[in-house]
Amino acid sequence: MKNTLSRRDFVCSGALVGAGFAASSDAFGLPEESPSPDEAPPIGLGIASYTFRNFSRAQMIGFMKQLHVLALNAKDVKDHLPMDVQQEATALADYAAAGIKLHAAGTIYFPKDEDADIRNKFEYCKRAGIGVIVAGDPAPETLPRMEKFVKEYDIRIAIHNHGPEDKLWHSPLDVLKAVKSMDPRMGCCIDVGHTARAGTDVVQAMHEAGPRLFNVHMKT
């Protein structure tokens, strides 16, 4: 069968699926009552900039406006949120002008168990006003050092699971075991696709994560 789904329709359908999931209180065990007009909804729909890794920042901003989704999980890919201080400032100005709010950064990798490298990543997020770092594959022995910076900067760490090929964090349940006795700002970013591939029940993992679930990555 010939696939006639355009790129734009694909992106739109993905956003709608995500919106439907976010609107389901059952998925997260949330109360059925709707929030009052003065309250923010308990779950917000956003876009990961990695989705648009083959497109420039300007193009991505245009796509987000078309979708009416203005929350972004930004990554240092293409020109989306460069690590360079001046280039980052330019990107932040573009997002502010477009009304886009950066709620998370990543996936960011922490290959070194060293203060200087970890602090550099936290400073990068602090400049952007980002409160959640989606961390990719940090070694378990690096977590106590990362926890120290979580406390210093008051920025949460959400460890991203990468499925059965990931020797460290193939399931969110592995993340939760590692951080259960750590600062409550140490938690997980559940990647729905990788979690399912790992044979873990996604809804169960979300319930078990509870307040340590800081971000969810979904794919269509």
* Domain CATH number, residue 23: 3.20.20.150
In a domain, 2, yes or no: no
In a domain, 27, yes or no: yes
Which range has the worst mean pLDDT, 4-13, 47-56, 112-121, 167-176?
4-13
**Per-residue b/e over 149-160, b at no fewer than 16 CB within 10 Å?**
bbeebebbbbbb
Output helix, strand, coil percentages for the chain, rounded to the nearest 5: 45, 15, 35
In a domain, 45, yes or no: yes
Cβ atoms within 10 Å, residue 123: 14
Q: How confident is the model at residue 22 (pLDDT cuts 50, 70, 90)?
A: very low
In a domain, 1, yes or no: no
Cα dist from 186 to 6, 30, 103, whole Å = 39, 21, 16
Environment class of residue 220 by beta-carbon count within 10 Å: exposed (0-12), middle (13-18) or buried (19+)? exposed
What domain count does the chain have? 1
Say if CB 169 and CB 200 are below 8 A apart: no
Q: How confident is the model at residue 44 (pLDDT cuts 50, 70, 90)?
A: confident
> pTM for this structure?
0.81
Place of tokens 């949460």: 156
Say if CB 152 and CB 145 are below 8 A apart: no
Mean pLDDT confidence for 17-31: 37
In a domain, 168, yes or no: yes
* Residue 55, amino acid: F
In a domain, 89, yes or no: yes
Q: How confident is the model at residue 6 (pLDDT cuts 50, 70, 90)?
A: very low
Q: Is the pLDDT of residue 14 over 60?
A: no
In a domain, 175, yes or no: yes
Range of the domain at 164: 7-217
In a domain, 90, yes or no: yes
Phi, psi of 149 (to 5 degrees): -75, -30
